[in-house]
């Protein structure tokens, strides 16, 4: 008999959803939400957990670089000309500099690193259906604040074999943040993903691709690999909601990019978004176009041939091997809030990862917008978009999804 582990707050919620009436679960859900930072704002760096995370970094290794100027959503304001970029910054957004360990392409010819940023959102299930039909897995770079709103969608992504990466807590441009704020943005997002799925993320994409050597060193020490996207392969779908580009132009640009494939050495990584109706509308046709031209879509872990897509992959795999397949959470179980028609009939065969409850990273205590290059913002509407659904309903659904896992975990002790 092993000692009883401390179960995470999400698991407490899972069990509560079975034992308690809906209103009580909703009340607990609110409390759970209160344990995370406020949505879509920079987290408080004085929070005890953040202080603990900060203390885990060897700051002597972090380059001292000036903070970027930024506009309101912390989108970096690039200095005029490359001369204005600090020496040794290797600031991708502003001078296109790529560090040795940045992931900007897939090494293998025709490999297509398929990525969707800024979700999960209420549009994501529609995209998941398309990916399921095509039997394709992608990487979702998720925003922590959105995960808090749509935990059940995150679970669905994992259950259907997709790969999860981080896209920070509030979608801020990282080069404009202090060292402490960078830690808080990554670790809170990591924590909410872990609390929902049991997976400790290993890949991240900086909002706006905004990364320099200071940011890189901090995230490296937290175990992260930085993923950007291949030049000329930003779908620019994010401009459709802004009405600065049409669907037709998106398709035409993508067609042009596809025409360069025969000359490319290695594969590509595209940038798309699952936050808006319009971006999900073009995602299906873009997928079809790429596949028709012979590109092989895949998530980033596969693109770089990484057999361990998460920091705790070995651990979660060990746990998964111990459990029968029936332990998979019933993420597609219909409820009053989620009709069965919203969900695909079955998960694709490709690379399933079982969401596993693990010993929590930390017990949370009370705590206090999307991308582009060249400093343009796509995220101006993220905050407005993000606060739509009933949080209580979302978390209650998440709790139900996890209930089976929680109970089986407890029973196996
Ligand atoms: Zn983004």
Query: Could you state, in order of their start, the residue ranges of all structural domains in the chain?
Result: 39-390
Give pLDDT, residue 84: 77
Lowest mean pLDDT among 166-175, 230-239, 340-349: 340-349
Is there a catalytic annotation at residue 237? no
Ligand 1 centroid to residue 2 C-alpha, Å: 42
Ligand 1 centroid to residue 104 C-alpha, Å: 16
> How would residue 93 be classed by pLDDT, with cut points 50, 70 and 90?
confident
Report the SS3 class of residue 107: coil
Ligand 1 centroid to residue 208 C-alpha, Å: 6
Give pLDDT, residue 4: 29
Ligand 1 centroid to residue 279 C-alpha, Å: 12
Ligand 1 centroid to residue 117 C-alpha, Å: 5
Ligand 1 centroid to residue 293 C-alpha, Å: 27
User: Which residues face 165 on adjacent strands?
Assistant: 141
Residue 383: pLDDT over 70? no
Give pLDDT, residue 225: 98
Give pLDDT, residue 237: 97
Ligand 1 centroid to residue 384 C-alpha, Å: 15
Give percent of the chain above pLDDT 90: 61
> How would residue 215 be classed by pLDDT, with cut points 50, 70 and 90?
very high
User: Which residues face 204 on adjacent strands?
Assistant: 166, 226
Residue 382: pLDDT over 50? no
> How would residue 79 be classed by pLDDT, with cut points 50, 70 and 90?
confident
* CATH for the stretch 39-390: 3.20.20.370
d(CA 197, CA 234): 29
Mean pLDDT of 78-92: 82
Lowest mean pLDDT among 64-78, 154-168, 272-286, 391-405: 391-405
Token readout for 265 is 């050495």
Give pLDDT, residue 75: 72
Residue 316: pLDDT over 80? no
Give pLDDT, residue 23: 61
- What distance, in Å, lies between the first and last C-alpha atoms of the chain? 6
Angle, helices 391-411/151-159, rounded to nearest 10 degrees: 50
Per residue in 256-304, pLDDT (tens digit) is: 999 999 999 999 999 999 999 999 999 999 999 999 999 999 999 999 9
Give the closest residue to 232 by CA, choosing from 211, 247, 254, 249: 254
Give pLDDT, residue 117: 98
Mean pLDDT of 245-255: 97
Report the SS3 class of residue 28: helix
> How would residue 397 be classed by pLDDT, with cut points 50, 70 and 90?
very low
Lowest mean pLDDT among 154-163, 228-237, 355-364, 395-404: 395-404
CB 277 within 8 A of CB 287: no
Is there a catalytic annotation at residue 391? no
Residue 332: pLDDT over 50? no
> How would residue 389 be classed by pLDDT, with cut points 50, 70 and 90?
very low
Ligand 1 centroid to residue 140 C-alpha, Å: 11
Residue 99: pLDDT over 60? yes
The position carrying tokens 């790969």 is 163
Mean pLDDT of 324-339: 36
Ligand 1 centroid to residue 302 C-alpha, Å: 21
Residue 412: pLDDT over 90? no
Residue 326: pLDDT over 70? no
Give pLDDT, residue 314: 86
CA distances for 132 relative to 7, 128, 136, 286, angstroms: 32, 6, 6, 15
Token readout for 243 is 């009405």
Ligand 1 centroid to residue 205 C-alpha, Å: 8
Catalytic residue, chosen from 273, 274, 327, 379, is 273
> How would residue 401 be classed by pLDDT, with cut points 50, 70 and 90?
very low
> How would residue 413 be classed by pLDDT, with cut points 50, 70 and 90?
very low
CB 287 within 8 A of CB 136: yes
The position carrying tokens 């005029």 is 80
> How would residue 323 be classed by pLDDT, with cut points 50, 70 and 90?
low
Ligand 1 centroid to residue 411 C-alpha, Å: 40
Ligand 1 centroid to residue 207 C-alpha, Å: 5
> How would residue 111 be classed by pLDDT, with cut points 50, 70 and 90?
very high
Catalytic residue, chosen from 40, 117, 274, 379, is 117
User: Which position has the higher pLDDT, 340 or 57?
Assistant: 57
User: Which position has the higher pLDDT, 332 or 149?
Assistant: 149
Ligand 1 centroid to residue 57 C-alpha, Å: 25
User: Which position has the higher pLDDT, 328 or 49?
Assistant: 49
Mean pLDDT of 33-55: 95
Give pLDDT, residue 141: 98
Lowest mean pLDDT among 74-88, 138-152, 352-366: 352-366
Considering the chain, what is the average pLDDT of its residues? 78
């Amino acid at each position: 008999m092993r000692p009883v582990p401390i179960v995470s707050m999400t698991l407490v919620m899972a069990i509560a959803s079975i034992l308690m009436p809906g209103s009580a679960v909703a009340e607990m859900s609110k409390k759970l939400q209160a344990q995370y930072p406020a949505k879509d704002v920079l987290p408080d760096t004085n929070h005890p957990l953040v202080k603990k995370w900060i203390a885990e970094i060897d700051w002597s290794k972090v380059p001292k670089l000036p903070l970027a100027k930024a506009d309101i959503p912390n989108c970096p304001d690039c200095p005029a000309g490359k001369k204005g970029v600090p020496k040794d910054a290797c600031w991708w957004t502003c001078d296109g500099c790529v560090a040795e360990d940045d992931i900007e392409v897939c090494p293998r010819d025709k490999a297509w690193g398929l990525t969707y940023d800024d979700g999960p959102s209420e549009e994501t299930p529609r995209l998941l259906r398309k990916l399921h039909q095509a039997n394709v897995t992608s990487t979702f770079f998720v925003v922590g604040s959105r995960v808090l709103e749509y935990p059940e969608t995150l679970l669905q992504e994992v259950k259907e074999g997709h790969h999860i990466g981080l896209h920070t807590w509030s979608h801020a441009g990282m080069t404009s943040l202090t060292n402490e704020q960078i830690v808080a943005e990554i670790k809170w997002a990591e924590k909410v993903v872990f609390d929902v799925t049991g997976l400790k993320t290993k890949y991240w994409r900086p909002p706006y691709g905004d990364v320099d050597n200071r940011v890189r060193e901090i995230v490296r020490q937290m175990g992260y690999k930085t993923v950007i996207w291949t030049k000329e392969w930003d779908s620019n779908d994010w401009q459709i909601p802004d009405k600065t580009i049409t669907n037709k132009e998106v398709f035409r640009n993508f067609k042009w990019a596809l025409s360069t494939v025969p000359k490319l050495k290695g594969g590509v990584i595209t940038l798309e978004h699952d936050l808006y109706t319009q971006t999900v509308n073009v995602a299906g046709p873009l997928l079809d176009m790429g596949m028709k031209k012979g590109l092989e879509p895949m998530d980033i872990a596969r693109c770089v041939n990484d057999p361990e897509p998460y920091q705790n992959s070995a651990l979660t795999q060990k746990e998964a091997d111990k459990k029968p397949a029936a332990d998979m959470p019933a993420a597609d179980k219909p409820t009053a809030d989620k009709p069965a028609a919203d969900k695909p009939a079955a998960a694709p065969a490709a690379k399933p990862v079982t969401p596993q409850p693990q010993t929590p990273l930390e017990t949370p205590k009370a705590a206090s917008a999307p991308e582009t290059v060249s400093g343009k913002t796509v995220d101006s509407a993220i905050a407005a978009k993000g606060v739509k659904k009933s949080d209580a309903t979302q978390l209650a659904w998440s709790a139900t999804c996890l209930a089976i896992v929680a109970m089986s975990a407890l029973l196996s002790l």
